[in-house]
Structure 1
Amino acid sequence: MTTYHRAVAAQLAVLLLVIGAAPLFAQSTATIVGVVRDSGGVLPGATVTVRNVDTGLTRSVPTGGDGAFRFPALPVGPYEIRAELSGFRTSVRSGVRLQVGQEAVLDMVLELGSIQETVTVTGEAPLVETTTSALGAVVTAAEIASLPLEGRNYIGLTMMQPGVSESRTISNSAYPGTWFSSSGAPPRSNGYSLDGADMRNGTGVTTSSVTGQTLGLDGIQEYRVLTNAFPAEYGGVMGSQTVMVSKAGINQFQGSVFQYHRDRNLEAANYFDDPGTRTEFSRNNYGGSFGGPIRRNRFFFHGTIEYARVRRGTTNIANTLPAAAHVDGGLVPRIHPAIKPLVDLYPLPNAPGDRYTFVFTQPASDLYGQVRLDANLSKNSTMFGRYTVTDGDITAPTTFPGYPTHAETRNRFLTLSENHIFSPTVVSTTRVSNSRPDAHYTADYPGQLLTDPRYNFLPGEAMGVISIGGVTDLGPSANFPRAFGGKEYTASNDTNVSAGRSSWKFGVRVNRVEQFVQQAFSRGGQASFANVTAFLQGLPNFTRAPSPGSFNSKTLTFTSVGVYAQNDFRASDRLTLNLGLRYEPQTRYKEKFGRESAIRNILTDAQATLGPLFKNNTLDNISPRLGFAWDVRGNGKTAVKGAAARLYDLGNMATPLVQAVAGTPPFSSLSRVNNAPFTVPFELPAEGSPQALRIIDYNLAAPNMWHYNVSVERELFANIALTVAYAGSRGVHLIRTAEGNPRMPSQTLPDGRPFWTGQEPRLSPYWNTVELKVADSSSKYNSLQLRLNQRLSRGLQFQNSLTWAKATDNYSTFSNTDTGGAEGQTSDYPFDRDRDWAPMPTDVRLNYRFNLVYRLPDAFKPGSVAGALLNTWQVATIVQATSGQPFTPGLMTNRSRSGQLGGQAGLDRPDLIPGVRPEDVTTGVSRGCGNIKAGTPVGTADLWFDPCAFTIPQLGTLGNAPRNAFRLPGYSRVDLSFMKMIPLRGSVRTELRVDVFNVLNRVNLGLPDRTVYGALANVENPLVTAGLITSADAARQAQLSVRLSF
């Protein structure tokens, strides 16, 4: 067997070794292309050699008949390029640093002379990429190391890119990590890869641990964020691709040890802290990294370890029962006997407005470790392996004392990769990886709630959740205990083939996913009341609990196969066409233990059918990619580009789909009783009564989205470039939550409004309310994106970005998590989808970001006292300013009597008073009503919007307040960093650093309570919580750090 055949056999063996998981992600390498010329034209037959300065890796190719050369799949880092041809002087270009995903165009010019003579030119690759058409940007090593990142969370740098809008209503919720929308895609539709392997956590959405932090800054070399119309080698998601590269060892030993410290003496008081009190706070983050050669130019290693320990005291604000509610004759003549023990669980108010405040010290910790080994096995073969592990744990308060929640995660990631050069024109990379993210959540209960039957809504179960209009929910999370986990295996191959003017790339990826979810779904029961009076009288809107015998955990498995072909065709010396096609089907979801069933037709099926959860919706997942890049003048300084791509969502749906099928009989279902007297334990529906369901549409379609963009890039000055782009998207078959078994209104009123009596039967007599996951939503996104950046030059680099965008949909939110509580989980009226066409929850109209790193020039003589004090300083800053996200005001009860999701609180909307514009509701002063005085300022934490701008709709009708027409507080912040570098000996230096976050101490308010009225009567006072904000982002904080580097 020849060497060639052995190499092919080895790669095929590796490819078939594992069938795996993450259905996305491509290379984490770079490419060099160019043409060799002399004064008269192109030079075929010249030898071009590239050498990685750090590791000694060397590759050579001859130029083709058109003088062109190409080096695909190069590791990122510094390079030297050499061009040689007999009769010409050797040309050498040094100082070139390749970035991840970059295609650097580096033309070489040879002069007549002896080949022994060398002409050396030093200079970076051109700023403008003239051969690629996708929108995106690189986060450089200097930015990662130097910018002030709160929590040292490098994913925060993704928010710096045009087209990316953070969803702060979700990011500040109980779901950890940074959630964001890219190019108008849902927040669940973003991919993260490290060295080509999936890095998402157990939720399938972010990379963080359960604490919300993403450690490992010292283990990341750099990363690229692709935001619109990326090439065919990328798949699996329809939002963005964050492609990260881990740090590798080089021919020099390098390392560092560090500590970062914050405490309460270095921070200002939070806006909601009690005056004159200081809550506990300390954060210590320390670790180190070390790497270098095992054998020079052949074998290398790099390792990183990091630990963070946080103790944060938070002032928690809850709305509790009025003092008068605790006694008979206070608010009602007599408290219902079953309610009396529950009343005693609420603490008496200790702050104005029937509020209760308490301080909770929240402990959290994170541990991160990573090791990477690299080997240059031969001139034609390189290999690396990397293992990353992260642990996190946190104990957090709930709304009242006594119900803390505990969460812990362990995420493990393993990657092995081999890069092989079969010939100067054929380069292949084979990769296998394994990802194992796990998360577990539990809750504590006061002892009596476990054993005292007065509190056991369900026999043998601890007390569940009590919801009262105008009062903060009492009890642990309705979904605890819960767990997310999975095993993901991936095997892939990417092969680059250069053929004349075409550069082909072919790939295949086989993926295996096993996704586990356990979620309690009101395990202890849940009772909802319109207001305090209804609670004291024992008159709930509904009670809800799992049906007896329900089994609320699922383990879903599937396999996907993604194949693609990408051709970058040089139509001329100045025009490149990017043409690609990807096909990415997957097997149907299967439940590992056979707990599979489906309601195939809600209207006609009286029972579930055992078998597939839903039809395979992916067999038509054909994804074309089209683009062009035109080097306008042929000098590499101005490029006009355009691209379009059809993208699909795949495996990241697994976790929410598992949650959905946990409510499908015969394995599980929900029991719900509306408007019945309250009892303990709950009186569940009799056997044979219609059950409430949480299911998936059996004919679920495949979510997909078209991306498209047109851009102009121009190098304005040396090292400064401007990009002006239009970027848009159109999403179809997006998954949403719907009422799958609605009530038809009994009549239409003369003004066109539907009307319900509350006695209308549901469309199917066999089932009660049905929470249905269905793929019938659409979205639109249009944006103008501006980016001005300077590459590191003379110690200065910066990036400015501005996005002016509009994102609309007709409800494409999978669950309440996706809205962050800013709107209801689903539409208030299922029969008119156009009624819901409005801004998406992630719609941020204006988004400005700026970051800068500047190494101040040394103004004094080295070695002098002044030089020691005033030389070697660096300053860095991040500036953020965004407009607010939208929200929708709601009602506590099902005023319309439509029965949507069983009359879920917050779905029905109030009426907007005629003549009041939505933008006026959050500005100016209140018109006054109930306990709100006329002239009370709105747009404040106490009253963000004017409840008096709304009225209660006629009973049986829908309110006219438009969806998502009202805006939440905007966000702005300035972070600043100062660093002093102290050279010690040789390459050893100490860095002393001060980071100041939110240096201007701006109050960035959280989400207001959007529920306006209890809506039991035609006229009521607004709820005391309406428009109230009880949370804010962190106040000014300083961080001190020291680092020893060598």
Structure 2
Amino acid sequence: MGRFRRIFAAGAATWLVAATAWAQSAQIQGRLVDAQGGAIPGAQVSAIDEDKGLVTRETTSDASGFFQLVALLRGRYTVRAELSGFKTVERGELVLDPNQVLELGDLTLEVGAVTETVEVQVQMPVVETGTSQKSYTISDTQVRELSLNGRDFTSLLKTLPGVATNETGFLLRFNATTGFNVNGLRDSMNNVMLDGTPNTDTGANDGQYTQLSLDAVGEFKLQSSSYNAEFGRNPGALITATTRSGGQQFRGTLYGFRRDGKWDAVPHDSLTGERVPLDYNQAGGNFGGWVPIPGISSASNKKLFFFFNHESTRADRPAESILEVLHPDLLNGDFGRLLRFNDDGTPVTFEGTNLNVGTVFKPGTIVRDSANAIIGGEPYPNNIIPTSEWNGNAQGFLNVLNQIYGQVDISSAEAVPGTPQLLRVPFDVVNEFSKDQEVLRVDYQASASTSMFFRMVLDSQREGQPRGIFSTQTFPVIPMFREKPGQSYSFNLYNVVSPSVTNELIIGVTNLDQVVDKFEDLPTDRYDRDLLGFTMGDLYPVGAHGGPVNPYNKFPNFNCGESCAFSPFPLTWRSEAPEIAITDNVTWQRGEHTYKTGIFFNMAFKAQQPSWTMGNLDFNPNEQNINETNYGLANLLLGNYTTYQQSDGIYYGDFRYIGAEGYVQDTWRVNPRLTLDYGLRLSYLGPTYSTGQFLQNYFVPEAYDASQAVDIFTGAGVLRGSVIPGTGNPFNGMVEEGSSGLPKGGIENTVDFAPRAGLSWDVKGDGQTAVRAGVGIFYERFRQNTLNFDGLGSPPLSYTPRLFGGNVDDIAPELVSAGVRFPVGTVGVAREGHPPRVYSWYAGVQHQLPWNFAIDASYIGNRGTNLAYQRNINQLPLGSTIANPPPGGVNDAVRPFLGYTNVTSVEFGAESDYHGLQARLTRRFGDRFTANVGYTLSRAQSHVDADGTTIDYFLDLERQWGLAGFDRLQMLTLDYVYELPDIGTLWVDNAIGRVLLNGWQISGVSRFWSGTPLTITSNGNPGTTGGGVRAEHLGGDLYPAEKTRDTWFNPLAFGRPADGTLGTTPKGFLRGPGINQWDISLFKNTRVNDRVTIQFRLETFNAFNQVQFDGIETGIDVPNAGQAVTGATREDTGRVTTFRAPRQIQAGLKIYF
């Protein structure tokens, strides 16, 4: 927090000296005419905030009668126009959204006395004729009256066309901005602005600094395509949220929401028929009004307003209700359940042998061919390993594994289909969540030309997960918590310098601290290696820079395959992320042109550790482990690991990011029916670089000198695979940022140009139909979690050797203290630095329909280029290790860059493509009924879906091209709020009837979406020292006649590809289950008196308790190359593995006063 206080002080100092201004303001514009249609210049036009009861902006109409009221905040307004010789005209009930250009068209002034007022009563305009920007608004009615499963306001985005998400169940999460993809773009490209302040964490771009309470949200807007040059930073959806503000009346709300698992339906995959435990409570309240200060704000001249909201959430929420665990027989050394048999009882054998698939072999006896297929070996009798051969550390591992069996009822377990060595057991994994938030906003309207507000949000949050944070343990052994307090401060100043010039300013200071650690009250015997019975040593008992690498003396992470993975995220991990953002706009209205120019300056201060390895054992079978048995748990019992890694220290780095953007744009009102928007944005987006004691290191292929390559020892013994001392340069190719031609942050970044253009054409000139189109280029700032942090975990600063094919008894400091080194994994980056770029375009029509309906239909497209992906450049071409097996089976001896294992390079050459037809039917301003119907028909394609995805084969990026993992062919969404007629007044008309029968309201969200693509993967040996393999489609029906829980697709239509190949089945070859979700709520509003109303809420999600499949097992595992999947080798392939949530119920109470 010390760092944040310094940043906040700097931001506060900036506020005091700032003289210009910016914000996410909106504007109202129109034209004043007389009864004959002639222009009326020189009239005074005012915007009156109806909630605050004061004039917030004034201007005069120009020679053409045109007027603009700019720098307005969201709210309800009345526009008043007055000129001597004419009656005053007022048009009220104008609802203004964030960043909106509200076009009123012609306002007619009648001849008469200025003291006479004419109130214009016409329908609120919803067709946007004054701007070309493509956007959708989530109204305050939707925010207030639509039920959300977890009360997360960003979940409302699912009601909008072009927004895809897989979420349907209970959401209770830390400020996520991911999980929804807009117009086919990556979810990390979303950008959330809170009152004009960037509210997206700079590390992963997947979370908000503070996630505003739903009851503090005034309104928010999604700008989805081709928005103006004024906006930048990210190319995806721009989500603009605003906080509520106080008004001239004192108003408040008290509210509480309750969830109980006993109210919900039984999960569709329950093994016991019991409901999932859930205990959720949320309580809060808000209050707003005006502030009396003598000389500044009085009852007759209210200028100072406030709004305060407090909310507390406490929840114990279910994460899983079923765990898959190893059958107890296996923990006793009996592996008979691994043996595979055909339906006729004959054994499934390794090709060319009589050895049963699933055989456990004695160490060192397995014989393989050049493709590493098993062709011989000495089995253990009856597939049982006698305890006399177990390693001395086996009991320590078993003491970890056995912790689950005392917590579950094995008698209610069922075997996993096709995998009898695994059991499904009922076990409620319940995550803890707590959050407290305070929101304060103070508005000051100094005059009709100057206004400002200050807003702060303070979050205190904590989540606890029994299976771990960021990485998952097979079952709870080390429960972990994550604390994530966030702060956001925003100061907004609006100043109308002259009738034609406006300054707007926003300065934001934000911060996000994080800590990940074990539960404070966790018993020591759950994790302490000594108490558990481990006797093995560490490579590094003490870190290279002092301090323990393993601060809690925790048992080593280990993974032995199915239901045997215990690699929790590093304990005591922490980070800080303070940030300052300043944006300044100047608007100049001159004739038919509205010019706008501005800058955006962003400085982020990040302090974070890379994830380090506190000892990590991999026991999974691998040909490089000469003592393997063909099964991970068997290797564990014998102590024969495949790989072991441990870092030599913990490095806490300081990082800096500086971004600067500027733009110019012009909105040209060519005539009253045609408006053109065009502009240019210039962006310098980083990169992030490290400062202080520890600097990042990257692998640079051009710096690697083959003549300085190390030699790898390929003989037998504990040093097998090590670097032979005295040979070569162990840091060959490693370059510290800022040296040897490698720029700070590893990226050579430049200023990028982003032109934007659009038009809006009022077809008939009556504001009823508009043709709108836009095109633009957008850039994304480099994500820190992709490019940075891990550079601190690279040599020569940090050293994480990888030992392989050894025994746990041999692990000791002596292995590395005598100068012996082992190959390490490292990271690289494409330093030429081309920021991810998106070309975006759209064309559409908006039309006003009868009964307050409006339709918005568009074609939207975009093309992403220079997108980040990852590539392991230290691999070999296909089939290399099959044609020429590595000496001694040591792959690291034949890699292109010797001395390294995987070299993961972040590169910027991936692409994406999206084409969509989107339509939205809206009824926003009805008296008792509002509704939206959204429809999308689209196709999203990409190489990879996320920055952190490593491609299957390092020489073939195009192999990755196909349907994006989040693609949904069709999406139909309906949301509605309907206040039922007051039948108590109509039919009964007495006090009891009115109380019982009046005030009922129904609302809901219904979704009917097609499924996402499925890619069928396979085991296999491509002979590349890595890479991903896909199955071969061998023919036959892809889907059964009826899709069931047991068979969503036909696994027998697929087979394992030949060795030395990657398989030919395309990415996204099949489709998964869709969504058919009905969320329906019933509210009862009871008016106690003129000042108090009570609202009871009954909210249901998946109201009809429909069975909805979700996850599908898409991987095949066939023992022999070129063979098809059979009934005996199918295992779980093609089966439904998870279901969407059953019916869930939430009760709520609100008191409005």
Normalised to the residue count of structure 2, the TM-score between the two structures is 0.81
**Hey, what does 2:1088 align to over in structure 1?**
984
1:911 pairs with 2:1015: no
> 1:748 and 1:779, CA in 2 relative to 1: closer, same or farther beyond 3 A?
farther
Residue 978 of structure 2 aligns to a residue whose secondary structure is strand
CA distance in 2: counterparts of 1:88 and 1:236, whole angstroms:
48
Identify the residue that residue 457 of structure 2 maps to in structure 1. 388
| Cα 1:161/1:117, change in 2 over 3 Å | same
2:26 is matched with which residue? Answer: 30
Please list every run of 5 or more consecutive structure 2 residues that lacks an aligned counterpart in the other structure: 1-10, 292-296, 337-359, 361-379, 416-421, 468-473, 542-549, 623-628, 705-731, 739-743, 884-888
Higher deviation after alignment, 862-871 or 778-787? 862-871
Matches within 5 A, 1:581-596: 581-596=680-695
The Cα shift of 1:776 comes to 1.2
1:709 and 1:395 map into 2 onto residues whose CA distance is 44
**Structure 1, gaps ≥5 residues long:** 1-10, 20-24, 751-755, 816-824, 926-936
Q: Does 1:534 align with 2:624?
A: no
Which of 653, 657, 666 lines up with 1:567 in the alignment?
A: 666
Q: Give the corresponding residue for 2:495.
A: 420
The code of the aligned residue for 1:975 comes to D
Distance 1:678 1:814, change over 3 A: farther
Runs of 4+ in structure 1 deviating by more than 6 angstroms, as ranges, are: 169-176, 682-686, 747-750, 756-760
Q: Identify the residue that residue 759 of structure 2 maps to in structure 1.
A: 628
1:430 Cα deviation after fit: 1.5
In 2, Cα distance between the equivalents of 1:240 and 1:26? 21
Q: Give the corresponding residue for 2:306.
A: 301
Cα separation, 2, equivalents of 1:960 and 1:566: 49
CA contact (8 A) 1:810 1:833 kept: yes
Task: Give the one of 447, 453, 458 matched to 2:534.
Answer: 453
Structure 1 position 967, deviation (Å): 2.5
User: Which one-letter code corresponds to 1:665 in the other structure?
Assistant: P
* Residue 233 of structure 1, aligned match among 230, 243, 248: 230
1: CA distance, partners of 2:283 / 2:40: 54
Whether the aligned pair in 2 keeps the contact of 1:565 and 1:581 (CA below 8 Å) is yes
Closer, same or farther: CA 581–897 of 1 in aligned 2, 3 Å = same
1:191 equivalent in structure 2 = 191
Residues 429 and 493, structure 1, Cα contact 8 Å, conserved in 2: yes
Contact 2:745 2:788 (C-alpha < 8 Å) held by counterparts: no
Q: What residue number does 2:600 align with?
A: 509
Q: 2:1073 aligns with which of 941, 957, 969?
A: 969
TM-aligned CA deviation for residue 327 of structure 1: 3.1
Cα 1:886–1:484 shift into 2, 3 Å: farther
Q: 1:118 to 1:641 in 2, by over 3 A?
A: same
**What is the CA–CA distance in structure 2 between the aligned matches of 1:15 and 1:578, rounded to whole Å?**
32
Q: How does 1:557-706 map to 2 (within 5 A)?
A: 557-599=656-698, 601-602=700-701, 604-605=703-704, 606-612=732-738, 613-650=744-781, 653-673=783-803, 681=811, 687-706=820-839
Q: Quick check: 1:346 aligned with 2:438?
A: no
* Contact 2:613-2:647 at 8 Å conserved across structures: no
Answer yes or no: is 1:439 the counterpart of 2:514.
Answer: yes
In structure 2, the CA distance between the partners of 1:674 and 1:164, relative to structure 1 (3 Å rule), is: farther
1:495-534 Cα shifts (integer Å, max 9, x gaps): 2111100011111121110123334344331415149942
- The equivalent residue for 1:122 is 121
Q: Which residue of 1 aligns with 2:143?
A: 144
Comparing 244-253 with 1019-1028, which one deviates more in the overlay?
Answer: 1019-1028
Which residue pairs with 1:52 in the alignment? Answer: 49
1:423–1:360 distance in 2 versus 1, CA, 3 Å: same
Is the 2:286–2:309 contact (alpha carbons within 8 Å) kept by the matching residues of 1? yes
Measure the CA separation in 2 of the matches of 1:672 and 1:966: 38
Deviation at 1:882, TM superposition (A): 1.9
What corresponds to 2:205 in structure 1? 205
**Worse-superposed segment, 837-846 or 772-781:** 837-846
Please say if 1:104 is aligned against 2:102: yes
How much does 1:96 deviate? 1.3
Q: Which residue of 2 aligns with 1:410?
A: 485
Distance in 2 between residues matched to 1:239 and 1:757, nearest whole Å: 45
Q: CA 1:65–1:797 in 2, change beyond 3 Å: closer, same or farther?
A: same
- Secondary structure of 2:187's counterpart equals coil
SS of the residue corresponding to residue 88 of structure 1 reads coil
**Equivalent pair of 1:279/1:314 in contact (CA under 8 Å):** no
1:371 aligns with 2:492: no
Amino acid at match of 2:108: V
Quote the Cα distance in structure 2 between the aligned partners of 1:169 and 1:987: 37
Q: Map 1:799-878 onto structure 2 (within 5 A).
A: 799-815=932-948, 825-861=949-985, 863-878=990-1005
Asked whether the equivalents of residues 220 and 244 of structure 1 are also in contact (C-alpha less than 8 Å), the reply is yes
Q: In structure 1, how many angstroms separate the alpha carbons of the residues matched to 2:574 and 2:617?
A: 20
Using the alignment, how far apart are the partners of 2:1116 and 2:399 within structure 1? 26
Distance 1:677 1:952 in 2: 32
Q: Is the 8 A contact 1:803 1:847 kept in 2?
A: yes
Q: 1:302: Cα distance to partner?
A: 0.5
**SS of residue paired to 1:151:** coil
Distance 2:1030 2:613 in 1: 25
Deviations 1:137-164 (A, max 9, x none): 1111111110111121111111211111
1:864-916: per-residue Cα shift (whole Å, max 9, x none)?
32222111211111112222222323345x6213123xx6xxx222323x224
Query: Aligned with 1:142: secondary structure?
Result: helix
Looking at structure 2, the residues matched to 536 and 204 of structure 1 have their Cα atoms a distance apart, in angstroms, of 35
CA contact (8 A) 1:105 1:125 kept: no
Spell out the pairing of 1:682-761 with structure 2 (5 A cutoff): 687-745=820-878, 761=894
Please give the alpha-carbon distance, in whole angstroms, between the structure 2 residues aligned to 1:319 and 1:264. Answer: 23
- Which residue matches 1:259? 256
The more displaced of 173-182 and 959-968 is 173-182
**Residue aligned with 1:623, SS:** strand
In the other structure, the counterpart of 2:163 is: 164
CA contact (8 A) 1:758 1:899 kept: yes
The answer to whether the Cα contact below 8 Å between 1:457 and 1:680 also exists between their aligned partners in 2 is no
User: Is contact 1:662–1:694 with CA below 8 Å preserved after alignment?
Assistant: no
TM-score (norm 1): 0.88
Q: Partner letter of residue 556 of structure 1?
A: F
2:1106 to 1002, 1014, 1024: 1002
**After alignment, is 366-375 or 586-595 more displaced?**
586-595
Structure 2: how far apart are the matches of 1:364 and 1:87? 65
- 1:84 is displaced (CA, Å) by 1.8
Instruction: State the Cα deviation string for residues 90-121 of structure 1 (Å, max 9, x = none).
Output: 21111212111211111311122222222111
756-765 or 81-90: bigger deviation: 756-765
2:573 to 477, 482, 503: 482
| Structure 1 CA distance for aligned equivalents of residues 594 and 449 of structure 2 | 20
Higher-strand-fraction structure = 1
Q: How far, CA to CA, are the matches of 1:964 and 1:173 in structure 2? A: 30
2:484, 2:614 → 1: CA distance?
A: 22
The reply to whether residue 545 of structure 1 matches residue 640 of structure 2 is no
SS at match of 1:538: helix
Indicate conservation of the 8 Å contact 2:556/2:617, yes or no: yes
For the 8 Å contact 1:661–1:696, the answer to whether it is kept is: no
Secondary structure class of the residue paired with 1:278 = coil
Alpha-carbon distance in structure 2 between the residues aligned to 1:596 and 1:523: 21
- CA apart distance, 1:758: 6.3
Tell me the percent identity: 24
Using the TM superposition, name which of 964-973 and 135-144 deviates more: 964-973
- Aligned pair in 2 of structure 1 residues 713, 454: CA closer, same or farther (>3 Å)? farther
Compute the displacement of 1:725 (Å). 0.5
Residue 220 of structure 2 is aligned to residue 94 of structure 1: no
Cα distance between partner residues in 1 of 2:762 and 2:632: 70
Query: Quick one: structure 1 residues 130 and 528, their matched pair in 2 at CA, closer, same or farther if it must change by over 3 Å?
Result: farther
* Cross-structure match for 1:818: none
Instruction: Check whether the contact 1:600–1:698 (CA below 8 A) recurs between aligned residues.
Output: no
CA distance in 2, matches of 1:490, 1:645: 24
Q: Which residue of 1 aligns with 2:558?
A: 466
Deviation at 1:1028, TM superposition (A): 5.1
